A and B are shown apart, each in its own frame.
Chain A
Amino acid sequence: MTSATPFDLIVIGSGPAGQKAAIQGAKAGKQVALIEQTREVGGACVYQGTIPSKTLRESALQMVRFLQATEVFEFRMRDDVKITNLMTRLDRVVRAHGKFMKDQLTRNGIDCFHGRAGFVSDHEVRIQKTDGTATFVTAPIIVVATGSRPRVPDNIPIDHEHILDSDSILSLVYLPKSLTVLGGGVIASEYASIFALLGVHVTLVDTADRPLKFLDQELTDEFCEAFEKTGGHYRGGQKIGSVQWDGCSKVTTVLESGETLESEKVLVALGRVSNLEHLNLQATGIQPTTRGLIPVNHHCQTTVRHIYAVGDVIGPPSLASCSMEQGRRAVCHALGLNSGVAPEHIPMGIYTIPEMSSVGLSEQEATAKYGGATVGRARFHEIARGQISGMTHGLLKMIADPKGEQLLGIHIVGEGATELIHIGQMGLLHNMPIDRFIDNIFNFPTLAETYRVAALDIAKQRQH
């Protein structure tokens, strides 16, 4: 017989989803237990995902800007810029972020448990410690926020030494001469462009004819052009046959077409799987989907009504931004609190080099819904700010209804795209007519001006 400590709310996993769920519970005056299996709180977002990849990207960009400045100001940078310096910076940023998260949880009076959680029943959870002992907690509401990890395809022997995944790529201590990246999704494209910028010979391989197929083709075309310019190559329409380390100095990737690619390292970024294996879900009656996700309704409620699941563990969009909101909303729903209007227009930010971002309808979606679409374009190099900053790549694409009056979507590629998108997001939220972008004044010179230029482009196409 175990004696379980009672709480009002148990949250499993301290990533963005779990954290916001726990904080929402604490703010509502509830006694919250947050269980995390790693020693640090913050989840994949802090240690393997968003924060490290964006820090590495920023360091790479800073290095390149600095290199460009050396030409203008006639000084030389050391040849031996060590990746360890980039990684040490990354370690510092990650630690600082982790500490910030921990402080936030402590401030809110949340009881943090270090251990691996598994259900004993639909109300009770066992927390296994590293020393083999266990404690038990119980609550009327439980939120599962155990996140995801890289998928390991059967035919690829990932050894985290020569054949890496998106977690182990962060452990590199020197830049390889060449890198084959398998996958054409967000993580694959982001890392491919970062390493290409750092001077690594990168080949991105995927089955699709272009990377990031879910994005507007004009955006991905710009991305591919910039990627090729930094020395990267995209090999579309390719299936992977096998990947093998030669035991000496290179990894050979054999494509089903029979072609072989050789590189010093390989990065495998072929999707993610939910972390369910330690949860003992059978004890709750929850049945995962065939894709290994926890099925939920639009309140993030599982088939067992007092158990919620949020974040990556329930599948796409698998973004830190959405995971946080799901965590907050799930707890509001469970506690009968008003969670506000559900977000309608979720922006998508992709931190490739250059960045890409989109919100609202694509040209195809608008055409399907309204029988047509008017598209306005503004190129960064035509804008004063773009010229000043030497931006050769950059496009803002504005989607309006067939009459060219109503804003329906915004798609941007170019530096600052993930920030710039929010102007469009606010416009969509407020059902803004296209002319508002023309009638209003933006700071000059800024990239925000692209909104005005694209709106003018739409206005020009109106038939009077």
Chain B
Amino acid sequence: MVHSTITPLAQEERETLRSFIADQLGRGNLDLPLLPVVANRVLLLSSDPDADASKLSSLIQQDQALAGQIIRIANSPAYAPRTPIVSLQQAITWLGLTMLAGLAFSVSVQSGVFHTTGYEKEVRNLWRHALATGLFGKEIARRIRHNVENAFLCGLLHTIGKPAILHLLAQSPDKSAEPFSWITIESLFEEFHITAGSKLAAVWQLPDPVQETIRYYQDDQYHQAISPTKGAMITCLAHHLASVMLGNSVHDENSLLTLPVVQDLNFYPEDMTALLELRETVRASVECFLP
């Protein structure tokens, strides 16, 4: 995360945007379209009858907007699942890939694409961070024998409020010719992303542990989570690992060891070493998705 002071001009800009976001959140005007690159891939894959099933399956599991929408629609009365769909893997198995391809297609057509003009790099980083958190979450869950699918979904969607805010800003009537400064945007994220994420998750009726993680994934909050899947606690550490890996953390690998969440997860130094050894694998998976 970038930590800089906000100039008076930026302060003014921030105030205008603050009240716009607060107003939109109050009205429940929230949505999250796909990244253009993701929408393209969905369209290509879902229109190709010879497409490799596992490619669509992994695409669905790499993009937060697509993942969240798939879970939302899979749980809707139109699909009327006998049991609630609580993981992407479950959605794939229950719906089958053909149906899922159709579903992904309609998501990408209906939700449109994300307008990222001016912040391409930053937006890419948001997505990469979300995916890396999901992937580290999986590895943490494996070590403590907690649900791996749930940990992944919680990690992937934990900061879903950030792109939702960006999307709101793209629709702001105050848009000037210049894009808003990223510092301003980050300060708005800090203030609103949990509220925005929680609202979006509630509207989309995401599984309870995911909603809980979005609310409580931060260091001083995860104790409030009660889900037996420990999604919030796992995501808290996964978030730190992803930040360190992507070079946007105040921590380094050594100071990570002293985090309370590491103690609370009962991770010994050798457990952390094993987790950190996975960073190249995680990085490669993230790069493969968003180079």
Task: Point out residues on A near B: beta carbons under 8 Å.
Answer: 37-39, 48, 79-84, 87-88, 90-91, 116, 128, 130-132, 159-162, 167-168, 170-177, 246-250, 264
Can you give 6 A-B contacts (C-beta < 8 A)?
Answer: A39-B264, A79-B82, A84-B208, A168-B148, A171-B141, A248-B97
Given known pairs A131-B258, A161-B149, A171-B229, the reply for A80 and B263 (CB within 8 Å) is no
Given known pairs A38-B266, A171-B147, A248-B53, the reply for A82 and B138 (CB within 8 Å) is no
Return the 5 tightest CB-CB contacts between A and B, nearest first: A91-B228, A161-B148, A171-B147, A167-B145, A248-B54
Nearest-CB distance from A172 to chain B (Å)? 7
Q: Is the CB of A174 within 8 A of B87?
A: yes
Q: Is the CB of B257 within 8 A of A160?
A: no
Given known pairs A91-B228, A161-B142, A248-B92, the reply for A132 and B269 (CB within 8 Å) is yes
Q: Is the CB of B148 within 8 A of A174?
A: no
Q: Is the CB of A173 within 8 A of B82?
A: no
Q: Is the CB of B86 within 8 A of A168?
A: no
Closest to B94 in A: A177
Nearest-CB distance from B276 to chain A (Å)? 14
Would you call B146 an interface residue if the criterion is a C-beta within 8 Å of the partner chain's C-beta atoms? yes
- In the complex, which residues of chain B have a beta carbon less than 8 angstroms from the beta carbon of A48? 145
Contact of A168 (CB < 8 Å), options: B92, B97, B138, B145: B145
Task: Point out residues on B near A: beta carbons under 8 Å.
Answer: 53-54, 57-58, 81-87, 89-90, 92-94, 97, 138, 141-142, 145-150, 208-209, 228-229, 257-258, 262-264, 266-269
Number of A-B contacts (CB under 8 A): 94
Other 10 A-B pairs with CB < 8 A, given A171-B146, A173-B209, A248-B54? A80-B81, A84-B208, A130-B262, A130-B263, A161-B149, A173-B87, A175-B83, A177-B94, A247-B58, A249-B57
| Docked complex Cα distance between A116 and B269 (Å) | 11
Closest to A264 in B: B93
- In the complex, which residues of chain A have a beta carbon less than 8 angstroms from the beta carbon of B209? 173
- In the complex, which residues of chain A have a beta carbon less than 8 angstroms from the beta carbon of B208? 84
- In the complex, which residues of chain B have a beta carbon less than 8 angstroms from the beta carbon of A88? 228
Contact of A174 (CB < 8 Å), options: B86, B92, B142: B86
Q: Is the CB of B262 within 8 A of A247?
A: no
- In the complex, which residues of chain A have a beta carbon less than 8 angstroms from the beta carbon of B145? 48, 160, 167-168, 170-171
Q: Is the CB of B258 within 8 A of A80?
A: no
- In the complex, which residues of chain B have a beta carbon less than 8 angstroms from the beta carbon of A80? 81-84
Q: Is the CB of A82 within 8 A of B262?
A: no
Given known pairs A130-B267, A172-B147, the reply for A159 and B142 (CB within 8 Å) is yes
Given known pairs A131-B257, A247-B54, the reply for A160 and B266 (CB within 8 Å) is no
| Docked complex Cα distance between A128 and B269 (Å) | 10
| Docked complex Cα distance between A48 and B97 (Å) | 34
Q: Is the CB of A249 within 8 A of B147?
A: no
| Docked complex Cα distance between A172 and B150 (Å) | 9
| Docked complex Cα distance between A162 and B82 (Å) | 21
In this complex, the member of B89, B94, B258 whose beta carbon has the largest number of chain A beta carbons within 10 angstroms is B89
| Docked complex Cα distance between A430 and B112 (Å) | 80
| Docked complex Cα distance between A160 and B145 (Å) | 7
Q: Is the CB of B83 within 8 A of A174?
A: yes
| Docked complex Cα distance between A397 and B90 (Å) | 44
- In the complex, which residues of chain A have a beta carbon less than 8 angstroms from the beta carbon of B138? 161
Closest to A169 in B: B145
Nearest-CB distance from A194 to chain B (Å)? 17
- In the complex, which residues of chain A have a beta carbon less than 8 angstroms from the beta carbon of B147? 171-173
Closest to A150 in B: B145
Q: Is the CB of B267 within 8 A of A173?
A: no
Nearest-CB distance from B115 to chain A (Å)? 33
Q: Is the CB of B53 within 8 A of A39?
A: no
Q: Is the CB of A249 within 8 A of B97?
A: yes
Closest to B209 in A: A173
Closest to A83 in B: B83
Q: Is the CB of B93 within 8 A of A39?
A: no
Nearest-CB distance from B52 to chain A (Å)? 9
Nearest-CB distance from B104 to chain A (Å)? 14
Contact of A160 (CB < 8 Å), options: B54, B87, B148, B267: B148
- In the complex, which residues of chain A have a beta carbon less than 8 angstroms from the beta carbon of B257? 131-132
- In the complex, which residues of chain B have a beta carbon less than 8 angstroms from the beta carbon of A132? 257, 269
| Docked complex Cα distance between A88 and B228 (Å) | 7
Given known pairs A80-B82, A246-B54, the reply for A160 and B142 (CB within 8 Å) is yes
- In the complex, which residues of chain B have a beta carbon less than 8 angstroms from the beta carbon of A249? 53, 57, 89, 92-93, 97
Nearest-CB distance from A299 to chain B (Å)? 33
- In the complex, which residues of chain A have a beta carbon less than 8 angstroms from the beta carbon of B264? 39
Nearest-CB distance from B194 to chain A (Å)? 23
Closest to A167 in B: B145
| Docked complex Cα distance between A221 and B35 (Å) | 58
Contact of A82 (CB < 8 Å), options: B84, B87, B229: B84
Q: Is the CB of B268 within 8 A of A130?
A: yes
| Docked complex Cα distance between A23 and B145 (Å) | 30
Contact of A159 (CB < 8 Å), options: B82, B87, B92, B148: B148
- In the complex, which residues of chain A have a beta carbon less than 8 angstroms from the beta carbon of B148? 159-161, 168, 171
| Docked complex Cα distance between A175 and B263 (Å) | 31
In this complex, the member of B54, B97, B145, B267 whose beta carbon has the largest number of chain A beta carbons within 10 angstroms is B145
Nearest-CB distance from A391 to chain B (Å)? 30
| Docked complex Cα distance between A168 and B141 (Å) | 10
- In the complex, which residues of chain A have a beta carbon less than 8 angstroms from the beta carbon of B57? 247-249
Closest to A176 in B: B93
- In the complex, which residues of chain A have a beta carbon less than 8 angstroms from the beta carbon of B266? 37-39, 130
Q: Is the CB of B268 within 8 A of A128?
A: yes
Closest to A250 in B: B93
Nearest-CB distance from B18 to chain A (Å)? 38
- In the complex, which residues of chain A have a beta carbon less than 8 angstroms from the beta carbon of B83? 79-83, 174-175
Closest to A175 in B: B83
Closest to B52 in A: A248
Nearest-CB distance from A179 to chain B (Å)? 12
| Docked complex Cα distance between A116 and B83 (Å) | 41
Nearest-CB distance from A132 to chain B (Å)? 5
Nearest-CB distance from B274 to chain A (Å)? 14
Closest to A172 in B: B147
- In the complex, which residues of chain A have a beta carbon less than 8 angstroms from the beta carbon of B93? 176-177, 249-250, 264
| Docked complex Cα distance between A250 and B94 (Å) | 11
Q: Is the CB of A116 within 8 A of B87?
A: no
